[in-house]
Amino acid sequence: MNDSQYPYGQNPNGQYPYGGQNPNGQYPYGGQNGGGQNPYGGQYPYGGQNALSPEDARVRRQRILEKQRLRRLSSGAAIATGGFILLANVLYMPYIFFITKNILHPNTETELILNISVDLLITLVSLFVPFFTVNRLFQKGLKVEPIRYGKATTNGADTFLFILGGFGMMMIADYIAGNLSSFIQDATGVEFAYDFFGTPTSAFGITVYIIRSTLFPAVFEEYAMRGVVMNSLRRYGDMFAITMSAMMFGLMHGNLVQTPFAFLAGLILGYVVIKTGTLWTGIAIHLLNNSLSIVYSLLYDNGFEKAGELLSMLGTAIGAGLGIICLIILIVRKKFTRPARNLSSLPTKSCYGAYLLTPPMILVLVGMVIMTILFQKTGSI
């Protein structure tokens, strides 16, 4: 048995059992303490001095600020959307209670035109006022860049290709969404409800109907969704901005017939607006799509069902074909490229959580889902 206190023999050089006096000081594994209390060099991460380097601390602070900014953008978009829904219902109440009991099923042509006109004005006020107000606050308080209404950043030929190609992709999206809805209805036995105004027969009534169903949505929905919502989020990546605005665009329609297509359309419109650098290209595609739908409706509702069906099939086929051709040309010309990446210090995955999980956004999203379900069960809100 070893008589010394060390199991492997007497330490020949000093107190350390594995040979040799510590050459530099009291730490057994060699070397002077590298700058503080920590024997392995550096500072202790727990207690005492901060372990983060100045650069790490700066990045951490920046991410906190970016997350706070994104949450404010989320709350603003949710408040604008909720304001639109609330204001529309408030403005409708006196009209429904004192003038007409059934706005969707009028008894006369005059009542139908009046209902469409009132709906146009109410939707104009309820959609424009909240989003315009929030956009002003975004630009003033969060330094969001102004919405781009000017000339496209692409040349004339490429702009035309993006508009025609986007319209063609809308035709394909409509076909996909329609077949998806049919599959779900057949599988579940649930028929998706969608009820709206009938079509007028007089020239004046048709004019009002066309303005309400084509020009108005193209301008004001694009302003709200691609202008205010998507534009404010581009700092966090164009794909993130496109997806979030498309999701809100789909849910805002409030019925299962339109929501799937509106979401897909939002993705297409968002991409084209970003690539061309102007909101007008989105408005143009939106207007073309709605105009074609109105032509179908006018034919169906005025006894030309066969012509409406034929035009619908031809429109989808020709539009889709042109869209694919334009897409191929844009790819060859290297214009169909990936959207810009996230420019903030906040990771993209964190952006989705920060934007979707604010109390106002959760409240509005849940509310829109409930409204969609109620519409599905009753055919009206």
In angstroms, the CA 94 to CA 71 distance is 36
Residue bearing tokens 């040799």: 20
Q: What is the mean pLDDT of the chain?
A: 84
Q: Is 130 a residue whose pLDDT tops 90?
A: yes
Mean pLDDT of the 57-76 span: 94
CA distance 59 to 344: 11
According to the model, what pLDDT value does residue 198 have?
Answer: 74
pLDDT band at 76; cut points 50, 70, 90: very high
User: pLDDT confidence of 30, banded at 50, 70, 90?
Assistant: very low
Does the pLDDT at position 47 exceed 50? Answer: no
DSSP state of 223: I
Closest Cα partner for 72 from 138, 131, 128?
138
Sign (positive/negative) of CA torsion 89, 217, 237, 240? positive
Average pLDDT on 202-211 reads 90
Contact 263, 246 (CB under 8 A): yes
pLDDT category of residue 254 using cuts at 50, 70 and 90: confident
Mean pLDDT of 215-225: 95
Confirm if 71 and 354 have CB atoms less than 8 A apart: yes
Burial of 262 (0-12, 13-18, 19+ CB in 10 A): buried
Compute the radius of gyration of the chain from its Cα atoms.
Answer: 31
Range list of H helices, the chain: 54-98, 109-141, 156-188, 203-210, 216-222, 231-233, 238-252, 259-276, 279-301, 305-332, 348-356, 359-378
Instruction: Please report the pLDDT score of residue 193 as a whole number.
Output: 63
More confident residue, 183 or 48: 183
pLDDT at 305: 82
> 238-252 vs 54-98: helix axis angle to the nearest 10?
20
Residue ranges of the domains in the chain? 63-378
pLDDT value, residue 7: 47
Residue 17 has pLDDT above 80, yes or no: no
- pLDDT value at residue 333: 93
268-314 pLDDT, tens per residue? Answer: 999 999 999 999 999 999 999 999 988 888 888 777 888 888 888 88
The per-residue pLDDT for range 179-202, each reduced to its tens digit, is 888 888 888 877 776 666 678 888
What Å distances lie between residue 248 and 10, 27, 36, 361, CA to CA?
77, 61, 53, 10
6: pLDDT strictly greater than 70? no
Q: Is 59 helix (H, G, I), strand (E, B) or coil?
A: helix
The predicted structure's pLDDT at residue 300 = 81
Buried b (16+ CB within 10 A) or exposed e, 146-174: ebbeeebebeeebbebbbbbbbbbbbbbb
Ranking 25-39, 118-132, 157-171, 188-202 by mean pLDDT, the lowest is: 25-39
Alpha-carbon distance 129 to 224, whole Å?
Answer: 10
